[in-house]
Structures are given as C-alpha cells and as structure tokens.
Amino acid sequence: MSLQSEIDRRRTFGIISHPDAGKTTLTEKLLLFGGAIQEAGAVKSNKIKKGATSDFMEIERQRGISVATSVLAFEYQGIKINILDTPGHKDFAEDTFRTLTAVDSVIVVIDVAKGVEEQTVKLVEVCRMRNIPMIVFINKLDREGKDAFELLDEIEQKLGLTVTPMSFPIGMGYDFKGIYNIWEKNVNLFSGDSLKNIEETINIEDINTTELNDLIGEETAETLREEVELVTEVYPTFNQEEYLNGNLQPVFFGSALNNFGVRELLDCFVEIAPTPRPKESDTRLVEANEKEFSGFVFKIHANMDPKHRDRLAFIKIVSGTFNRNSPYLHVRNNKKMKFSSPNAFFAERKEIVDVSYPGDIVGLHDTGNFKIGDTLTQGEIMQYKGIPSFSPEHFRYINNADPMKSKQLGKGIDQLMDEGVAQLFVLELNGRKVIGTVGALQFEVIQYRLEHEYGAKCSYENLNVFKACWVDIKHSDKTELEEFKRVKSRFLAKDKRGQLVFFADSSFTLQMTQSKYSKVELHFVSEF
C-alpha cells in the first residue's frame, strides 16, 4: 500500500469528558466492536471487578479512575483507529491537554443526567482553540436524565458549539425504547440486555410509515415524528467541511454500558472523521504525506510493566514512515538513535511493529533520553510546538522518608517528572526540592508510585505558593533582572530544564512584583 492510502485509512482521536461520564466504558465498547477485546471489564465507580482494559495502573484499579492516558488501536471496516483515552479527573488535566496535541479529532462524552460539567468546559475550550473537530456523545440514556432539546441547548450555550443531531432518542430512562438514527435513517430498538453485542436495527426510509407505529407504539411514534421535524427545522444540516474546520459538531445519543448507539457513532466516525492532519513546527507546517519521517513525544510512561523497569516514550507520527532499526535524529540532543523494538498497542497487547505511518502512536523504549515535547526527524532540524507545561496550583516540599533509599528516591522523582506527572523545582537558596501539581490527588499518586515502583518513601511539607511564573531571561531588561534576582532570591527556583522560576505567595505579591519590575517578563506557561 502507498503512503497516501495508509494515511487515508487512519483515524486518531481522543475521548474527553468530566469524570464518570462513561469515557472508559465507551472506549471499551469501541474496542469490542473492533474485535480488539472479547468482553468488556465492568467498570464500577470505585470497585473495578475485572478492570477496564484501558486502566492498567494499580492505583487506577483501586480508585476506579483513569490517571494516565491509554493508547489503544484496532481495525474496523478496513480503517485503522487509534484511540487515546484521557483522564477525566481535573487533577490530571495537564496529561489530557498534552494528549490533545496528538489527536486529529475528539469525541466529547456527556452524561445525560448531569449535562455539561466543569471539566468538559475546560477541555472543549482547548479543542476549540486548536480547531479540533469534535463529535458529541450523550451517554447513559437508559437512566433518567435531562430532556434531549434541553441538553442540546446547554451544549450550545455552555460549550459555545454549533450542534447538529445525527441520532435522536425515543423516550428516556424507564421509557427508553431506542434511537432513531437520522444519519442512516433507521431505528434501533433497546432490549436492555447489555450482554447482546449488537441490538436490533430496522431500516425506516420514511419516518411517517405505519411500520414505526407497530414497532414503538402510536403515541411514541407521533412524539418522535414531531421531535425529528423540530430537529430538522432548528439545527443545521450536517456539513463535513464545517465539521472538519471545527465549526459544526455532530451529536449522537446512546448508552455505552448497554452497547447502545455505539455502533452508529463508530460507523459515522470512520466515514466523516479527519485523516492525520498537518502540524506546525517552529520552522514550517509539516504535511502528513511528506516522505521524510517526523514525530514528537507527547507522553512518557514509566514502569508499564512493574516486573521490568521499562519506560516508554509515546511518539505521534506526523509525517513519513517510521521504520524499525532506522537511525533518526533526536533534535534536542542532536544525536542519531535507532529503535529495535518499537511498540504498537492493541488493547491489552503490545506488539513490535516494523513500519508505522502518520497518525500512528508508537511506544519507544527509553533509558532517559526523551522528555515530553521532544522531536524526532530524519535529519531536519525543527521542533514541534504546542506542548507546554502549565503553572501548577499546588506546591509542597518533598522530603526523603528513608535515608537509605535516597538514590531510589532521586531516580523515581526524576523519571516521574519526565513523565509529566508533576513538575519539579529546585530552590536557588538552599537546593530544596519542590513538587508542583495541577491537582492535589497527584501527590498521592507520586507517593504511591515512588513506594511501589521504586521502593522509595517520601513525605511532604506544605509550602505557601500561589503561582509559579517562568522568568523570560532573554527578553527582560538586564539591569532590572539582576535587581529582581537579588531582591527575590528567596523565591527563585529552577525547573527541570534549568529555566528560572519565580514563586509568588499571593496574587497581591504577584501584582506588586509585576508593577515594580515591569521590564522583567513573567509567564504562566513554560513555552514562550
């Protein structure tokens, strides 16, 4: 197959939502349709009996939440689909933001009863900033929830989207009878039996036919006709170009747990979703069908297999083909590297692959060469943009709780920070280590993983910091910068890349510092 035809048959997307909207369950059901897994793990809120396929870290199994992005791939109708299942919990938002740099489109999952929630708003904002095409999946229709039109209004108002329903529910909760598929013009009847893989689908070319009355009852059929008529009058007709430009969002209804409405979503997705898109680097725009290989690291995961101390760097291939055992340039280190066992992911299996194409995600075994945001090319000097670190919101000193294990602690902190779990700062004044995270739950995850994966124990001490700001040394006034460094020396630290960081203990301090040292540039994001 030619490079272009391989690109044309690839779809790489992320699934985003607020915690508990059913994201991991939807991922599993998509894998089930793709034949990648034989039966789904029943995900219960806090007790995972079998364990969801995509939640493979011990702490995720205990808590029933996804804390790391999983990469899963499967084939469906001749299309190669790569799914990135992201954490919904806000304490892990940074991992999700980074993952969104590696996807070509997104499916947003919304709980029918709760509607649009806080975390969904933030994530959709990031997608809109980057014009990522989005499909909305309204989940848990077998439960009592908000009215379909009320939900569509809420999505338009709170998320600022322009929606077009591609399917519509017949009843809801106890009265839920099925879904009318506007896109394919058929009716899916709900049996409530989640063990059945695929439910009954009946083609209805004309919604006004009496056949519909026999299927769902006269009264329900009449209501459905009125609602579908309203949909066609109120909402725009689906236009693929508008969707691909990020201006129009198709909406599907269903119940992932009961396998309902998932096939419709998948069938439409493979037809309309974008193939791998071009990506901006610091020198030019790189197209997927270029011959020369290039890609970037968007995630690093240590100890995927606790028995072997292995680290995997996840690379999204942007252009060309990635071949096993070929030398590629690690741009930041300016050295050539070969990879003898690049991994692809198929649900629970990791497989060594010889060739990978744009859109694919490849796991490379790493001994500490990679950092998040690193670029690999066939020789061209360029760096992909858009993988920043955000200013953390929680800060604590990290102390060694077992002096005999200081080497293990150092290595563990080092590797977990490379993964992007949190950020490490070292105070200029006394060399003490400070960990900064987006959410408080991260501290627990770090403590747990240091103990269970590295055999090191740590304790924390509170530190009163409101914001960490990166100091732009290049563009700041030299004289003022020296004065700033002298006066604020107690509040200065270096991050893992050696960049200077200022710790402000309150918003008032930050405002005062900014007005006093107006020629010293401070940033809340590390990429400036």
DSSP codes joined into one string, 95-146: HHHHHTTS-SEEEEEEETTTBS-HHHHHHHHHHHHTT--EEEEEE-TTS---
Give the pLDDT band of residue 310 (cuts 50, 70, 90): low
Second CATH level (architecture) for the domain 3-173+235-272: 3-Layer(aba) Sandwich (3.40)
Separation of alpha carbons 232 and 499, rounded Å: 55
Phi and psi of 393, rounded to 5°? Answer: -115, -15
Given the candidates 3.30.1050.10, 3.30.70.3280, 3.40.190.290, 3.90.1200.10, the CATH classification of the domain at 394-523 is 3.30.70.3280
Residue 35 has pLDDT above 90, yes or no: no
Q: What is the mean pLDDT of the chain?
A: 82
Separation of alpha carbons 122 and 266, rounded Å: 25
Lowest mean pLDDT among 79-88, 403-412, 516-525: 79-88
Residues whose CB is less than 8 angstroms from the CB of residue 34 and which lie 6 or more positions away in sequence, other chains included: 74, 75, 76, 81, 266
Which range in 11-25, 164-178, 500-514 is most confidently predicted, on average pLDDT? 500-514
CA nearest neighbour of 58 among 468, 359, 448 = 448
Q: How far is CA 443 from the centre of its chain?
A: 21
pLDDT reported for residue 136: 95
Residue 493 has pLDDT above 90, yes or no: yes
Separation of alpha carbons 502 and 416, rounded Å: 23
Given the candidates 3.40.250.10, 3.40.50.300, 1.10.3720.10, 3.20.20.140, the CATH classification of the domain at 280-377 is 3.40.50.300
Lowest mean pLDDT among 36-40, 128-132, 425-429, 520-524: 36-40
Name the percent of the chain lying above pLDDT 70: 85
Instruction: Please answer whether residues 297 and 374 qualify as being in contact, where contact means their C-beta atoms are separated by less than 8 angstroms.
Output: yes
Give pLDDT tens digits for 230-239: 888 899 999 9
User: What 3 state SS string does 336-380 have?
Assistant: EECCCCCEEEECCEEEECCEECCCCEEEEECCCCCCCCCEEECCC
For residues 431 and 97, the model is more confident at 431
pLDDT reported for residue 291: 93
Instruction: Please answer whether residues 292 and 377 qualify as being in contact, where contact means their C-beta atoms are separated by less than 8 angstroms.
Output: yes
CA nearest neighbour of 165 among 123, 225, 228 = 228
pTM flag (> 0.85): no
Name the percent of the chain lying above pLDDT 90: 36
Task: Establish whether domains 3-173+235-272 and 394-523 are of one fold.
Answer: no
pLDDT reported for residue 347: 55
CB-CB neighbours of 83 under 10 Å: 27
Pairing type for strands 70-76 and 79-85 reads antiparallel
Q: CB under 8 Å, gap of 24 or more: what pairs does 439-442 form?
A: 439/89, 439/90, 439/91, 439/92, 439/93, 439/393, 439/394, 440/91, 440/394, 441/67, 441/89, 441/91, 441/92, 442/91, 442/92, 442/394
Separation of alpha carbons 312 and 337, rounded Å: 15
Give the pLDDT band of residue 27 (cuts 50, 70, 90): confident
Question: Which three-class secondary structure state does DSSP give residue 296?
Answer: strand
Separation of alpha carbons 215 and 87, rounded Å: 40
Residue 197 has pLDDT above 50, yes or no: no
How do the domains of the chain map onto residue ranges? 3-173+235-272, 280-377, 394-523
Here the tokens at position 4 are: 């272009």
